[in-house]
Amino acid sequence: MCGRYTLRSRLNRVLDQFAVETADFEWEPRYNIAPTQTAPVLLFEEGERTVQPLRWGLIPSWAKEASIGARMINARGETVAEKPSFRAAFKRRRCLVPADGYYEWKKEGTAKLPCFFHQADDQPFAMAGLWEEWTGEIKGETKPWRTFTIITTAANAQSAPIHDRMPLILGEEEWDLWLDPEFEDKQKLQAMIEPLADEEFFEIDRVSTKVNSPRNDSAECVAPVG
């Protein structure tokens, strides 16, 4: 699964990376983005790419309560096209989730050790996701909420020693097709859901257990240890 990630890059770098002109919200570098928190997500609406703040943890439009979102932070790529919670979004509401790193926990005996995956130059990359709009109450506020989930796939050879799943990461040549709400060829979309090629894409660092708590959100979370 993908349960924590980073976007340490400034918003203007993200906009440049994903060819978006402007965004109407502020963004400070984040070192430990956690479920139910808000993060920038790339959508295609009204004929253009936009970056908008969405809540992590997809809430289907038919859900009665927001609590379901905490259980739907990830969608398995193998079943995403058929599972009732995700199939409508997979057909029409695909998105990209900008990140410049993510965490997985490696089991060693009874311990779970956090590991940080990032590119050597810390350049942002695109995790494939889905989004939905749900109207209801969250923390006393009733309004339409946009929420998202991150699609996962089987780990590649580099990632497998740490965890058996990894986020679905799409190359730039795939972005337009993935974002296009008019494109509904399920077979071609499903073919895009595969692990990264086995050549090394990430550097992997053992990091502090500070990342285990979502209250910790500083550079200490990504500092290598050991």
For the sheet with 5-7, list strands across it. Answer: 30-33, 5-7, 101-108, 111-118, 203-206
- Nearest of 88, 74, 99 to residue 163 by alpha carbon: 74
Of 95, 104, 115, 132, catalytic: 104
Residues β-bridged to residue 154? 165
Query: Around Cβ 45, how many Cβ atoms within 10 Å?
Result: 11
**2 included as an active-site residue:** yes
Q: Strand, coil or helix: what is 34?
A: coil
Q: Is 115 among the residues known to form the active site?
A: no
How far apart (Å, rounded) are the C-alpha atoms in residues 75 and 167? Answer: 10
**Annotated catalytic residue, options 2, 95, 115, 221:** 2
Residues acting as catalytic residues: 2, 104
